Amino acid sequence: MSATYPDLETYRRALFAPEDEVLAKVMPEAVAEGLPKISVNAEAGQALNFLARAVGAKKILEFGALAGYSGIWLARALPPGGKLVSLEVNPKHAEVTRANFKRAGVADRAEVRLGQALELLESAKADAPFDMAFIDADKENYPKYLDFALAHVRVGGIVCADNANGHGHAHEVLPADDPRRGLQVYNERVTSDPRLVSVCLPFGGWLAVSLKVRE
Ligand code: SAH
Ligand code: MG
């Protein structure tokens, strides 16, 4: 082996989820601009890219853009003419994401739509069916986003959600008003709905990955 690594995790990440220069700068620069450090990590990004390629995704819907970190991993999986639609409620986040999509060379295929995700879904129907949906916005609405994804992702496509571990609290009885209850409902639904086969990839805050196997 030519390089040495301080530990196994560093080894795994260096080999399986290397970031290029653009990706490596997205979150540090966003944080310097005051955005929260809540993107997926590189391994989750690589998993999103892998999954999109595995299902031959041409159209992907993302809920929650932040600075475009996950969106870049997703958009890079798209063939020419492919399309990522990313829904984002925060104007500053949308602006930073658009700039990062340009910088990453995916602005021709990655679009940010500004507004409450639930209110943007009517317009997203015009782009359906999707090959993949990635849910990573407000946690209380995960079940509603799942309803949309189930209706508008094709059979053989993927529905994926970040933060399936509920910020480390998914296994607890949470207060009635805790938004992470939405995640718990989400996890229970994707693991029991006969239309889905699901697996949890425990990168970062955990990706719940579901394959839609029938209507
Ligand atoms: N997917 C990104 C991280 C998203 S963080 C990545 O991994 O790189 C969650 C984002 O969802 C934030 O930018 C937040 O502004 C946005 N968001 C929160 N509530 C929303 C809503 N109701 N509709 C659309 N976007 C929302
Ligand atoms: Mg997240």
pLDDT per residue of the chain (215 residues) written in tens, 0 to 9: 778 999 999 999 999 999 999 999 999 999 999 999 999 999 999 999 999 999 999 999 999 999 999 999 999 999 999 999 999 999 999 999 999 999 999 999 999 999 999 999 999 999 999 999 999 999 999 999 999 999 999 999 999 999 999 999 999 999 999 999 999 999 999 999 999 999 999 999 999 999 999 99
* Residue 153 located in a structural domain: yes
Q: Is 85 in the pocket of ligand 1 (CB under 6 A)?
A: no
Q: Is 203 in the pocket of ligand 1 (CB under 6 A)?
A: no
Q: Where are the beta strands (DSSP E) in the chain?
A: 59-63, 83-88, 110-114, 130-135, 153-162, 196-201, 207-212
Q: Is 64 in the pocket of ligand 1 (CB under 6 A)?
A: yes
Task: Please enumerate in sequence order all residues whose Cβ is within 8 A of that of 19, keeping only pairs 6 or more positions apart, or say none.
Answer: 42, 45
User: The domain that contains 26 carries what CATH number?
Assistant: 3.40.50.150
- From the CA of 66, the nearest ligand is 1
The boundaries of the domain holding residue 191 are 8-212
131, 56 contact by CB (below 8 A): yes
* Residue 1 located in a structural domain: no
CA separation for the pair 39, 28 (Å, rounded): 11
* Residue 198 located in a structural domain: yes
Mutate to test the pocket of ligand 1, among 40, 46, 72, 88 (most ligand atoms within 8 A of CB): 88
Ligand 1 atom 16: residue of nearest CA: 64
Nearest atom, ligand 1, residue 45 CA: 7
* Residue 2 located in a structural domain: no
Strands 59-63 and 83-88 come out as parallel
* Centre of ligand 1 from the C-alpha of residue 68, in Å: 10
* Residue 150 located in a structural domain: yes
Q: How many domains does the chain have?
A: 1
* Residue 201 located in a structural domain: yes
* Centre of ligand 1 from the C-alpha of residue 8, in Å: 31
